[in-house]
Structure 1
């Protein structure tokens, strides 16, 4: 902000001149220190103190005159109690405004005991130390390049803009403007919102469509909402055409990088590159192996930035939808440029001379050189996974940003932003890079299986790095509903298509028509399965099924019925035929009752009959058997604990644990039964049951949440450092009439450096305590 930087510049200049003056006149330092700390004693009995330097301190009912380098300040204290003078025009002091300013900043008193609403006479406090020519200035184009005082000009400009903004907001709230061709609808429940979104609203096409769910106010791209439906269609068509053209013409530098990977071919055919062969073999290996993949990574890093701009210009209404657009378009860039173009150019350049010499042998030459292009992608995966992962762990730019740039910055706001706001993860430019690696690995899985080992190791390392970064380095500012990952999985199937197409091409080059027919059939089956899978899963990705509202209740009822059925089965099957068990069985018959039951039973039926003559014998046998078993089990447990076998078995059982008990299920159980352990109800139980956070609305009005930010955005708060010369105190009093400003939490020390207390920053911040 221009005004904030100008205020800080003024404070630093004034304090530098003040410190220089006090070093030359040390006897004045004590008097100035006492004068600057006199807060509200504006009419106390002071005697004039005359110093050798010519400085005077006021006495009762006399004007305050301070003779120091710069302009002279003279103000009648008695008259100032009633009036303030600006350019000779007396104005009545607004006592209500004065009280309001004091309430906003209770710590503020005038540096020299004057009223807090003293007019800005060219910076009366700063003017004691620096001349008016040294104040911050600039030359506006609208002022024909003439020099103006930055602080005074910006304050006046802010007052004019505040009035214009107030009038425009009042006009919009009255409804005297053209409405946007968009509507925000709020529902009481999430189920109701999803049910309404799946309803066809209008009978005409492109009317009241498309409908988006779960869009937060800070995710809305308001410039896109102002577009008409026909404008959005035209823009989308032009943007998609431009991206298609860019994919085609971007292949020129990508092809050059692919040719550069064949260093032997270049040094042999290009004369002025012969000196590369004289380099050590290690350097040649780095140039041919690591430099081309690194150059390709840098070239492709510019694409996501351009695609996000294209998404905004295409009429994408939300930041999340824009990231989805970036993910799809960037993945197309990655597959075409990084994989297809580089593979073809790398293989063709290695066999170019042989093709020129023997054009009829192009089939065999391409069949031999195409698998060799996998060496380039082995290096590419190493560069992307290991080098990128190491860079993400090191965070060199963040280290410089936090410990060098932030500490040397003169703007307290910049330090606050650096230390309190984490960088967001832009998934639209992250997922396609690693998805393309999976595509490359699947494509070369049959041609060069070694690439699977490199890709698996690299992906595992990248997974660890991103787990750490998501906890400590990056922040999430938008809600994607977890849709980036399933999109990446669907894009990964492109690797299967390309692998089968590559196999078909190699089989054609080798004239193996029998296997070629089998692979073509497999390609058709892959497309059919992909279509059916996409058709089944796609509605579940965007819409919430209505059965989820009662799914948990249904499962609990089924579990209760199953538990009752199991209890009944156990009650009927507990009789083991033992003597003691039969003795206490109330359903067992004796005497005449037994004879009656025997007559009713068919003679062919056979039942187990206990012999009471041997009562006690089975108990002794069972007790002895149980004692032997328990002793053997205890002995085995002791030996297993000593040998460490027990810990290994516990890990194996935990790996395959079903999760029926109290603990969580093992990996094998979740892998074999995802319908049970990764069900909606099972996953929802993992979410902590906490109360929903209370939502604070802007200005207490919940209806202003989905209004354009121009209608409710508050004035930005300027943050300047407090100084010993107390220039900041007067600047705060004058500037806050135009915009909020504070000097709390930032201090200018004696060396001219700014120290910042981030906890005392005048900004509202919602922090999450871990």
Structure 2
């Protein structure tokens, strides 16, 4: 027997192992330990995750009904149109789950956004191919791997590392053919589905009535074409042109005006609040009680905040108004960018695809369908050569970051097996004295958490770089997605995998360097155990954190009470729904799909945990997208299309791993030549498939086809100048035809050509399988438009006023109004006096009020949360 804990060591190198075996004798030090990761070792990592997740779930269930704004703002928030809101949750948890189940993902498509709908669909797709992968791989590969007597134990007998006979490689080869072929079909099918859905969505009456749907952004406009007449000469079917002017110092003036207005508001609120707390009368306010601030930090002169703010507003309001009028004139300097709204979507699509100027990099169509609030105006000032230079430098820096980040990520990989380095590094011998439970957490759970925290910095850096040259927020997210995905694959997957496998056998490699390839081939499949923990951590904890809605919860309970000291700040936080950052979210979860695919045929157990992980992620994000999230950035679904293409990296990695293992693991046996050749042939077929799919569908996922654009329908007028109540049809020649009421009713149902009614999607299990196999027939644009799109999308947006149309794509600096100063009313009348004093001292142009907000008896600010349209900040903003 062994009398002390120091006589026991972990039995394998895996980051999930916990089972202990007797310490080897001195003569055995450095010898290969062949025992594998056990179920108990896996559980010792998973149990803390389940405990934490359970606590988070209990907290969510306790708080869900008490904090409507955190856990269900879309069920009641008045700034949302009634058609955009989610049905209110039932009082009980069982009732809530029943209603929750009745809400389909198509509800998200019609009442949230295309991006949100497709983000959820990605989890469903990855969950599906992982589940099908279990059905395909487990019945064959588990017995093939487990019965070959490769010397492994525990969970490792289920992986490729337990296979000794090269003849069994045929099983891995043909299962890879079947499963990876299925994944390729799913990617092809989903690319088709996205193309059809995009066609149906962007041809719906709601989208076609938007100004943005027919507006193209051109950059690098030559001096000669910074004129409406010259632009209309080359683009004859234009409806409106917005030349982009150089705001020069106007933006700084507006910033100063907003700073003065905000200081006036906070100063007045503080004055009134202090007064209410003292319960005094209006003739006993001391000068010492008035709020003050320094014009410069520390060394600046101290001034009375209210008086200074009023004097600044008196100076800035007319100065900004004058400057705005000058900049909106035709004589103002124009930048090399222009927004052009065309008469029809057909015209806009044609202009977006054609070459507009004889010289490269001139009059370049950069984006179509971007909304004004998504434009990064500062980047429109930069010449094309500077944009190209910044983009090149940023890309090079991200590449450098991939290499630099290898050091800390590799350290995390080593940490998973640090106790195995004690053979060669005596100064690490203290690790052998660490209790097994603590060592298990340090080498299993801690690396996963450290890696998660470390990787959160990367998308922030990538997004900041992309903001320096991309013209729209959507383009920023797509660029971040491309960079961050490459980073995730390299660092989270490849570096961690190889560093974990190499560190596990470092002693043996030092003793026998010539055996390194065989050792790595034997041990790399075992590194999949790290990702079992990773899938559970990502799936379970992320899902629970999504339900708990941590940041809004923290602001609702703590930070909001500290930071939000004015009615305006309370209002803005209350009505703003946070959104998902596609550039940072997609790569993290697409990389999980890549990992699952890469290990699918060499460690198929990963597919089971991946199925559970993706299912949990789907449920967590589905709840938030239905009840709490809005859409901050619109990529028009392009992030989903890019994620589908990025999943092919997992197919290639799986094939390369099998090819490498067939070469290394066989030790030159002729029995492995057949599987090796077959796998190479399949890989070449994958390259051909990938090229053909991208070539055939690339245009369909970025533009709309001409046959669907031949006829465009639009219900009612698109602005206040048109005749009301009719439906217009724009044919291919631009002619307008009014439709009767019966045709109007039919056109509201779906937008694509109606020569024949499309067949309804088949029902039942076999019907769904049939629809999945034949998307061109049962998931065409006509079918999706008629049977899937929400009725909300069958109605156009409200008519635009002439002012709204005129100002749609003007630089916000040219149209920004003076901020409303919103005070809270007190029972003593001080707020009314301050409102009158500010109006009289500042004069015309300042809107200040104390309506719909008040101080209660405890001098705390209250405001009318349930009738938002009555608040002074409410605006009926158009949807562009």
TM-score of the aligned structures, taking structure 2 as reference length: 0.61
Preserved CA contact (<8 Å) 2:542 2:620? no
Q: Say whether residues 1:655 and 2:734 are aligned partners.
A: no
Aligned with 1:16 (options 257, 277, 287): 277
2:863 corresponds to 1:763 = no
> Do the aligned residues in 2 keep the contact of 1:15 with 1:752 (CA within 8 Å)?
yes
> Counterpart in 1 of 2:797?
693
8 Å contact kept, 2:345–2:709: no
C-alpha displacement at 1:222, in angstroms?
A: 0.2
Map 1:317-716 → 2, pairs under 5 A: 317-407=471-561, 409-510=564-665, 511-512=667-668, 514=673, 515-549=675-709, 557=755, 654-656=763-765, 666-685=767-786, 686-687=788-789, 688=791, 690-697=794-801, 700-716=803-819
Q: Is the aligned partner of 1:251 residue 2:406?
A: yes
Change (3 A) 1:160 1:176: farther
CA RMSD of aligned residues (A): 2.6
Partner SS, residue 854 of structure 2:
strand
Deviations 1:475-525 (A, max 9, x none): 013332212212111000001111112222222322456233332332222
Residue 550 of structure 1 deviates from its aligned partner by 5.3
The separation in 1 between residues aligned to 2:876 and 2:618, in whole angstroms, is 29
Give the whole-Å Cα distance in 2 for the aligned partners of 1:287 and 1:340. 21
Which residue is 2:348 aligned to?
193
1:182 partner SS = strand
Q: Go from structure 1 to structure 2 and tell me whether the alpha carbon gap of 1:761 and 1:280 turns closer, same or farther (over 3 Å shift).
A: farther
CA separation in 1, counterparts of 2:654 and 2:698?
25
| 1:742 match | 849
Q: Is the 8 A contact 1:410 1:753 kept in 2?
A: no
Contact 1:327 1:431 in 2 (8 A): yes
**Distance in 1 (alpha carbons) for counterparts of 2:423 and 2:446:** 19
Distance in 2, Cα, partners of 1:291 & 1:285: 9
CA distance in 1, matches of 2:311, 2:757: 73
- The corresponding residue for 2:339 is 184
**Maintained 8 Å contact 2:824/2:854:** yes
**Which blocks of at least 5 consecutive residues in structure 1 are unaligned?**
22-31, 33-124, 563-652, 658-665
Give the 3 Å change call, closer, same or farther, for CA 556–210 of structure 1 in structure 2: closer
The CA distance in 2 between the partners of 1:740 and 1:270, in whole Å, is 72
- The within-5 A match list for 1:202-221 is 202-221=357-376
Q: Distance in 1 between matches of 2:409 and 2:773?
A: 43
- Cα distance in 2 between the residues matched to 1:755 and 1:406: 14
- For 1:264, which of 404, 414, 419 is the aligned residue? 419
**Could you tell me how far 1:669 is from its partner in structure 2?**
2.9
Three-state SS of the structure 1 residue aligned to 2:862 is: strand
Match of 2:448 among 272, 293, 296: 293
Structure 1 runs of 4+ with >4 Å offset: 266-280, 550-560, 765-768
Query: Which residues in structure 2 correspond to 1:18-167 (within 5 Å)?
Result: 19=279, 125=282, 128-141=283-296, 145-167=300-322
Shift in Å, 1:701 = 4.5
Distance 1:715 1:556, change over 3 A: closer
Between Structure 1 and Structure 2, how many residues are aligned?
561
Deviation by residue 1:55-108 (Cα, 9 ceiling, x = unmatched) = xxxxxxxxxxxxxxxxxxxxxxxxxxxxxxxxxxxxxxxxxxxxxxxxxxxxxx
- Check conservation: 2:598, 2:653, Cα contact below 8 A: yes
Shift of 1:556: 5.3
CA shift in 2, pair 1:424/1:553, >3 Å: closer
Greater RCO (Cα-Cα under 8 Å, separation 6 or more):
2
C-alpha contact 1:406 1:414 (8 A) present in aligned 2 = no
Which SS does the other structure have where 1:211 is aligned?
strand
Please give the alpha-carbon distance, in whole angstroms, between the structure 2 residues aligned to 1:479 and 1:151: 40
Displacement of 1:240: 0.9
- Change over 3 Å in CA distance of 1:395–1:211 after alignment to 2: closer
Structure 2 stretches lacking a partner, 5+ long? 1-261, 712-749
TM-fit CA distance, 1:229: 1.1
Asked whether the equivalents of residues 423 and 507 of structure 2 are also in contact (C-alpha less than 8 Å), the reply is no
CA distance in 2 between counterparts of 1:764 and 1:336 reads 47
Q: 1:554 to 1:493 in 2, by over 3 A?
A: closer
| 1:588-645 residue CA offsets vs partner (Å, 9 max, x unmatched) | xxxxxxxxxxxxxxxxxxxxxxxxxxxxxxxxxxxxxxxxxxxxxxxxxxxxxxxxxx
Q: CA 1:554–1:531 in 2, change beyond 3 Å: closer, same or farther? A: same
Larger radius of gyration: 1
Provide the C-alpha distance between the structure 1 equivalents of 2:397 and 2:751, rounded to a whole number of angstroms. 52
- Specify the SS of the correspondent of 1:475: coil
Q: Give the match's secondary structure for 1:212.
A: strand
- Aligned partners of 2:752 and 2:781 also within 8 Å: no
Give the 3 Å change call, closer, same or farther, for CA 695–290 of structure 1 in structure 2.
Answer: farther
Structure 1 residue 390 displacement after superposition = 1.0
